A and B are shown apart, each in its own frame.
Chain A
């Protein structure tokens, strides 16, 4: 079985400060990890993915994520937050021994204040 946990329902950060949105996972086999963002009344947009290789993955809009195998984590980061980053963020995982489907976390609401 595979699962994803996003331990924080909401993250608040001031504009210009670094942000972190946390994600931990459990899979069978090697993990394939994804981050998506959802703006109000829109579908999910792909930000970045980790399949193999470098543990630090860079994605869209200045976001990056660090894969940590020993801690089974894949935290999303950005060095300097923007008000426009305020949105709902989803972590998703699929194990190499699993089928086609991704498992999504419950989402973390990010609020960046001016």
Chain B
């Protein structure tokens, strides 16, 4: 069974801090994703990565960066945390079966990190 592990379930930080959210998957998936989930807004994609050291901006990348140095690990970085970044952050991964299938494989999600910026 696929397991996506997010390092913290709950996190409280202060404005201006640099915040690291870590995600590890154990299924050798090529694709990894970071979303934020806010009530009434659903899931919004922040960044995704389709290979080590590769990254693509999602819909709301401002104020965030990512790092993927190893295939199994995808880190989300809040460069200077602000109160409007208080949210639930979800990491996901999926396999890539070649160009013909593109990203038709389901994404597997971690349990999320509820981040509060004070």
Known: A43-B111, A100-B48. A49 touches B43 (CB 8 A): no
Number of B interface residues in the complex (CB < 8 A):
26
> B48 near A101 (CB under 8 angstroms)?
yes
Tell me the bound Cα distance from A43 to B31 in angstroms.
17
B49 to chain A: closest residue by CB: A100
CA of A75 to CA of B92 in the docked complex: distance in angstroms? 24
Interface size of A as a range: 20 to 34
Report the Cα distance A76→B79, complex, angstroms: 39
Alpha-carbon distance A20/B35, docked complex (angstroms): 26
**Neighbouring B residues of A104 by C-beta, 8 Å:** 35, 42-44
A42 near B41 with CB under 8 A, answer: no
Q: A90 near B: Cβ within 8 Å? A: yes
B contact set with A: CB distance below 8 Å = 4, 31, 33, 35, 40-45, 48, 50, 56, 58, 90, 92, 102-104, 106-112
